[in-house]
């Protein structure tokens, strides 16, 4: 698509041209892309004739069109769910179940032989959401000895949120105004909508990437929560 993949926007590579390596996503664009992907997953899980599990959600599989709308791509590992709720892979494929997806984004239960499920996609989405706003891959070299992207974000909320967000966002006007306001009024007062919304988004990412599938949101809940956050953000934006 016109604007390539989300991967190239979050992590510009050395081989890209100067224009591509200097471009970045604003705070609002990141919120919109996160909602686009959530809507797409909700559609796959709940509004197709039979549910579809993508199984490989990650930034390189999110494509952006000319209007920066996010689209899920690459259904090479996708599975259709049968009416009884189980994925329709055959018995002779079960041995490769632990390899389903990409390291860092695949849910832990797949590595232990669990059935494919929509909650697996929710886990991948949670990791993706945290990556969108922190700018850190789940495979970053800093994540070792028990530290992962989920725990990294969890330990920072809510007081240290500015220390973990993507450094590029610190150049964004919305973020600069938020930092200036919290510096004046105190970060714990909760009187800044952008700060509250950022914390809420990251908390959604944490819940979606919970280790236990039963603790994760359904994608319908994610869409509802994120759209509510966007409504709050945009009411502030248009008011200004």
How many residues are listed for the chain in this entry? 240
Per-residue pLDDT of the chain (240 residues; tens, 9 = 90+): 999 999 999 998 756 665 555 678 999 999 999 999 999 999 999 999 999 999 999 999 999 999 999 999 999 999 998 766 555 553 334 434 445 789 999 999 999 989 999 999 999 999 999 999 999 999 999 999 889 999 999 999 988 998 999 988 888 777 777 776 766 565 544 457 888 899 999 999 999 999 999 999 999 999 999 999 999 988 755 543
Q: Is 65 designated active site? A: no
For residues 230 and 179, give the distance between their C-alpha atoms in angstroms, rounded to a whole number: 19
pLDDT of 17: 61
4 contacts 21 by C-beta, under 8 angstroms: no
Q: Tokens 């009884």 — which residue?
A: 84
CB neighbour burial string for 24-37, b if at least 16 within 10 angstroms, e if fewer: bbbbebbbbbbbbb
Bridge partner residues of 160 (DSSP): none
Q: pTM of the predicted model, to two decimals? A: 0.88
pLDDT of 93: 46
- Pull the structure tokens for residue 59: 């930034």
For residues 219 and 233, give the distance between their C-alpha atoms in angstroms, rounded to a whole number: 21
**Residue spans per domain, the chain:** 6-239
pLDDT of 192: 76
For residues 73 and 35, give the distance between their C-alpha atoms in angstroms, rounded to a whole number: 16
The CATH label, of 3.30.420.40, 1.20.810.10, 3.40.50.720, 1.10.510.10, for the domain at 6-239 is: 1.10.510.10
pLDDT of 22: 62
- Pull the structure tokens for residue 34: 């996160």
In the set 36, 56, 166, 172, the catalytic residue is: 56
């Amino acid at each position: 698509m016109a604007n390539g993949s989300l991967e190239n926007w979050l992590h510009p590579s050395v081989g890209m041209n100067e224009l591509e390596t200097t471009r970045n996503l604003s705070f609002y664009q990141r919120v919109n892309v996160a909602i686009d992907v959530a809507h797409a997953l909700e559609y796959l899980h709940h509004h197709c004739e039979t549910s579809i599990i993508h199984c490989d959600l990650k930034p390189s599989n999110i494509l952006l069109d000319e209007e920066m709308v996010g689209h899920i791509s690459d259904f090479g590992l996708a599975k259709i769910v049968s009416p009884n709720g189980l994925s329709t892979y055959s018995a002779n494929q079960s041995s490769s179940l632990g390899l389903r997806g990409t390291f860092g984004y695949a849910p832990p239960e797949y590595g232990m032989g669990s059935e494919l499920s929509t909650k697996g996609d929710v886990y991948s989405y949670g990791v993706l959401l945290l990556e969108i706003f922190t700018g850190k891959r789940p495979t970053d070299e800093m994540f070792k000895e028990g530290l992962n992207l989920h725990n990294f974000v969890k330990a920072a909320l809510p007081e240290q949120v500015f220390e973990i967000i993507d450094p590029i966002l610190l150049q964004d006007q919305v973020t600069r105004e938020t930092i200036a306001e919290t510096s004046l009024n105190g970060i714990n007062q909760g009187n800044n909508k952008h700060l509250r919304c950022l914390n809420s988004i990251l908390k959604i990412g944490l819940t979606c990437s919970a280790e236990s599938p039963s603790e994760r949101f359904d994608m319908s809940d994610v869409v509802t929560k994120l759209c509510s956050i966007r409504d709050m953000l945009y009411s502030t934006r248009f008011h200004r």
